[in-house]
Amino acid sequence: MAKVTSAAFTLAVDGQLPTVTVQTAQGVLNAAGDAQGSATIVQFGQLVEVEFVLAGKELYIKGVTGGFAQVPAALAGSVYDPSAILDPARGVPKVLSSVQSPTIAGTEGERWLVSGSVPAEVAAGLVPGITSDVTALFTITMNSLELTSADLTLDGADGKPATVKVELSDFNEPVTISPPS
């Protein structure tokens, strides 16, 4: 995964995780850290739909009304920073190399299902707000060894399990992301 240059991604939270502000996100990204897409986040107790462009370390957000506005890029990490996905130091490569007690749980066509646990500090690099270790199930293609999905399960605020699902596709497709005009 450290050699992937671009990908399409989706993220979805199922359950109550009050420390995770993003509920859904989808878009495209490249290994340089540029990304664009849309997300549903919890802001002041309400679900808010936003579009985002992260280009050249500059973050642009478009809310329900108006156009894109540049905001401090540091805010991306507090909400959801898609540039982390391909980052070897905090994203999928780091998560995969940090899996504890990995076990092949089965196969699904031409994919392995690998289970294990991931320390909270590593999982939080991929999904900000995770504060406890997670149980993970990874789907990895047999021929290219690419991660196509990760289901991260942890205790929800209501005492029930909650899951964060990250899916990746369209690996190494050309992706050009520019600041909005």
Domains of the chain: 6-169 (2.50.20.20)
Listed in sequence order, the residues at least 6 apart from 95 whose beta carbon sits closer than 8 Å to its beta carbon are: 118, 122, 123, 125, 126, 136, 150
When pLDDT is cut at 50, 70 and 90, the band that residue 66 belongs to is: confident
Name the token pair of 171.
Answer: 């690996």
pTM of the model as a whole: 0.89
8 pLDDT higher than 80: yes
